[in-house]
């Protein structure tokens, strides 16, 4: 039995995984489609001229949908309203009171562009909009959809120093004395915005309508990457569990669910927008559509609430919540059930979430994400110390009996069956498990992949520095120092391992540190830091154990 063959196969398989991940990372679409950031972009045409296809029908599934009162020829662009807080730079429009653009001042596009905020929503193609409205039952003209025209007191709102809350009111005047004030309530340091419709029924007839909220997005360029599952961009929703919906599935699998509470979202790398009900007790209908856009179809996911009635001469308030910003997991978990799952670790969530929790705790203690990664590596190494010790003892014994194995190989060079039998007898006599050396690597792989997803999906580590030249742990080392050091540690580890009995295997194993170094050169620096630190600890542990075993066997 050639004891190193399983290790070789495992290493090659893991290498294939690294190659796939590196290729996907290199060809991944950018965080956000490009869009103009200047004043011209803010004053271009706003949505709403496509007609009523994007107004949700509120009939039961299988029944004809309600018609929009807005004519298909409506072309008024509306007036942009600029709102600035300490964490949000938002553009609303008087057409429907929609959210047409969102910039995130505290999240620059890159470290090299610290003054350019990340753009999440945008009204220029490929568009990404947040729309809301009220749809009256019976007479659509008695409530404002997102195609209706509102009046604004001002076109500029800024959260002043010392001010904790900023209210932006928009007013709609309907028939028979019905008025609706649509209020956006922004709070300092908060990416969660409260939306309120204050309805006053000045008519002599009861008023009834449903609130709907929806997110609308144009197709996202995939940049030549056919795998795109690497970092999901698409829709997500929550019933009693978290679900994702790819844009390609909107036409084939339209969503039509009635749930209690729930939420809908558009998600992408590091960021999301989401509509949430004011209360988890509210009953909502979740829906999706493919609707016409400017030159191309667009994807829409929304939720419609229960009917609200207002008697003549009375008033009522209908509210929602809108989150637009980074996937900050702690804050998202406090906002709504399952919202933190939009930081999507995929099938590795069961490992990745504890790893992220531990990283966050250590970061709070140490104040640096890089040192938190080093500390996590040390703790993981301590957790599996005894198991690693057993494996390294087996490898040390293999190394010590390597001359005897070579002698057996030469003695029975023409009789493979007898050669394998003699080797197994030697393993039994020396109490050696020839596969024991695989365990340290097998233990590391799930943690390694989980940490990879934590670094990829956790916005908390986006643009996080470590020391000196490592300014961003979520991207590759710009000077390839860490990958080279990691390659050196892999080479040293191989020298501590027993030599493979097969010359071809020995040559392949000698090449692997070079291959891994090349792959790791394009991996996030935080991931390479983990592997480098782990290798250093493994070398120290293995050297001590190997020395003790060899000294003991020499004395014997």
DSSP H helical ranges for 431-497: 438-457, 481-496
**Is residue 298 a contact partner of residue 290, using CB atoms and an 8 Å limit?**
yes
CA angle 43, 49, 53 (to 5 degrees): 140
Query: How far apart are the C-alpha atoms of 351 and 446, rounded to whole Å?
Result: 8
Phi/psi at 242 (5° precision): -90, 135
Q: What is the pLDDT of residue 512?
A: 78
DSSP 161-183: TT--EEEEEEEEE-GGGEEEEEE
CB distance 454 to 372 below 8 Å: no
Measured CA to CA, the distance from residue 18 to residue 468 in angstroms comes to 27
Spatial separation of the C-alpha atoms in residues 347 and 156, rounded to whole Å: 45
| Structure tokens belonging to residue 299 | 């994807």
Span between the terminal Cα atoms of the chain, in Å: 26
What does pTM read for this prediction?
0.79
Q: What are the C-alpha distances in Å from 280 to residues 83, 193, 239, 276? A: 28, 17, 11, 9
Q: Where are the beta strands (DSSP E) in 111-250?
A: 113-121, 128-136, 151-152, 156-158, 165-173, 178-187, 192-201, 207-217, 234-238, 242-245
pLDDT at site 375: 93
Task: Tell me the C-alpha distance between 10 and 146, whole Å.
Answer: 57
Task: Assess contact for 286 and 243: CB atoms under 8 A.
Answer: no
Distance CA 412, CA 503 (A): 16
User: Residue 5's pLDDT is what?
Assistant: 43
Range 57-65 contact pairs with CB under 8 angstroms and sequence separation of 24 or more: 58/135, 58/137, 58/210, 58/212, 58/285, 58/304, 61/256
Q: What angle do CA 489, 491, 497 make, to 5 degrees?
A: 105
- CA–CA gap between residue 133 and residue 144 (Å, rounded): 6
Q: Say what the pLDDT of residue 549 is.
A: 63
Residue-by-residue pLDDT tens, the chain, 556 positions = 344 444 444 454 454 455 445 445 444 444 444 444 333 333 333 333 333 567 776 443 333 343 333 333 333 358 999 999 999 999 999 999 999 999 999 999 988 888 899 999 999 888 899 999 999 987 778 899 999 999 999 999 999 999 999 999 999 998 888 999 999 999 999 999 999 999 999 998 999 999 999 999 998 765 433 333 357 889 999 998 999 999 888 888 888 999 998 999 999 989 999 999 998 889 999 999 998 888 788 999 999 999 999 999 999 999 999 999 999 999 999 999 999 999 988 787 888 888 899 999 999 999 999 999 999 989 888 887 776 666 666 666 666 666 777 677 777 777 777 777 777 777 777 666 665 556 656 666 787 788 778 877 888 888 889 998 999 888 888 899 999 999 999 888 777 766 665 666 667 667 778 888 888 888 888 889 988 998 898 888 777 776 776 665 555 5
Does residue 331 sit in helix, strand or coil?
helix
Short-list 209, 204, 203, CA closest to 178: 203
CA 241 to chain centre: 17
- Angle at 496 (CA atoms; ends 490, 501), nearest 5 degrees: 100
Residues with Cβ within 8 Å of 23's Cβ and at least 6 positions away in sequence, in order, are: none
CATH number, domain 77-221+232-344: 2.70.98.90
| Confidence (pLDDT) at 32 | 43
Angstrom distance (rounded) from CA 356 to CA 360: 6
Domain locations in the chain as residue ranges = 5-26+352-555, 77-221+232-344
Give the model's pLDDT for residue 400: 66
SS (H, E, C) 15-67: HHHHHHHHHHHHHCCCCCCCCCCCHHHHCCCCCCCCCCCCCCCCCCCCCCCCC
Residue 340 CA to residue 352 CA, distance in Å, equals 13
């Amino acid at each position: 039995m050639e004891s190193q063959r399983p290790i070789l196969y495992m290493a090659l398989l893991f290498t294939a995984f690294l190659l796939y991940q590196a290729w996907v990372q290199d060809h991944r679409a950018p965080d956000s489609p490009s869009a103009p950031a200047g004043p011209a972009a803010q004053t271009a045409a706003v949505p709403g001229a496509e007609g009523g296809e994007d107004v949700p029908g509120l009939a039961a599934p299988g029944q004809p949908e309600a018609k929009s009162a807005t004519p298909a020829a409506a072309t008024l662009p509306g007036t942009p309203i600029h709102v600035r807080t300490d964490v949000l730079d938002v553009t609303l429009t008087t057409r429907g009171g929609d959210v047409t653009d969102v910039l995130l001042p505290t999240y620059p596009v890159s470290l090299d562009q610290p003054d350019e905020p990340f753009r999440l929503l945008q009204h220029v193609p490929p568009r990404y909009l947040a729309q809301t409205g009220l749809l009256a039952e019976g007479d659509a003209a008695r409530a404002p959809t997102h195609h209706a025209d509102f009046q604004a007191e001002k076109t500029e709102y800024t959260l002043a120093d010392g001010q904790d809350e900023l209210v932006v009111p928009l007013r709609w005047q309907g028939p028979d004395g019905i008025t609706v004030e649509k209020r956006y309530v922004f709070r300092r340091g908060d990416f969660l915005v409260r939306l309120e419709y204050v309805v006053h029924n000045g008519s002599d007839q009861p008023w009834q309508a449903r609130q709907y909220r929806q997110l609308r997005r144009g197709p996202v360029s995939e940049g030549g990457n056919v795998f795109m599952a690497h970092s999901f961009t698409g829709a997500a929703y929550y019933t009693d569990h978290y679900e994702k919906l790819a844009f390609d599935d909107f036409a084939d699998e339209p969503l039509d669910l009635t749930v209690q509470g729930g939420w809908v979202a558009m998600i992408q790398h590091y960021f999301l927008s989401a509509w949430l009900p004011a209360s988890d007790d509210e009953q909502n209908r979740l829906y999706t559509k493919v609707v016409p856009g400017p030159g191309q179809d667009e994807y829409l996911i929304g939720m419609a609430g229960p009917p609200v009635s207002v008697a003549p001469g009375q008033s009522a308030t209908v509210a929602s919540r809108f989150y637009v910003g980074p996937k900050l997991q702690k804050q998202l978990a406090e906002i709504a059930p399952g919202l933190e799952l939009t930081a999507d670790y995929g099938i590795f969530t069961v490992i990745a979430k504890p790893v992220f929790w531990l990283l966050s705790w250590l970061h709070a203690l140490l104040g640096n994400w890089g040192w938190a990664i080093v500390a996590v590596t040390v703790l993981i190494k301590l957790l599996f110390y005894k198991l690693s010790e057993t494996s390294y003892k087996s490898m040390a014994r293999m190394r010590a009996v390597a001359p005897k194995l070579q002698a057996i190989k030469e003695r029975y060079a023409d009789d493979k069956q007898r050669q394998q039998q003699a080797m197994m007898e030697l393993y039994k006599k020396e109490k050696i498990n020839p596969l024991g050396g695989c365990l340290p690597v097998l233990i590391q792989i799930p943690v390694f992949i989980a940490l990879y997803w934590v670094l990829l999906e956790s916005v908390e580590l986006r643009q996080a520095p470590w020391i000196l030249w490592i300014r961003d742990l979520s991207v590759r080392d710009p000077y390839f120092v860490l990958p080279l050091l990691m390659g050196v540690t892999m080479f040293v580890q191989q020298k501590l391992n027993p030599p493979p009995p097969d010359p071809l295997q020995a040559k392949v194993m000698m090449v692997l540190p070079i291959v891994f170094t090349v792959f790791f050169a394009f991996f996030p620096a935080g991931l390479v830091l983990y592997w480098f630190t782990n290798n250093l600890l493994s070398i120290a542990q293995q050297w001590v154990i190997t020395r003790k075993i060899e000294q003991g066997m020499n004395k014997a």
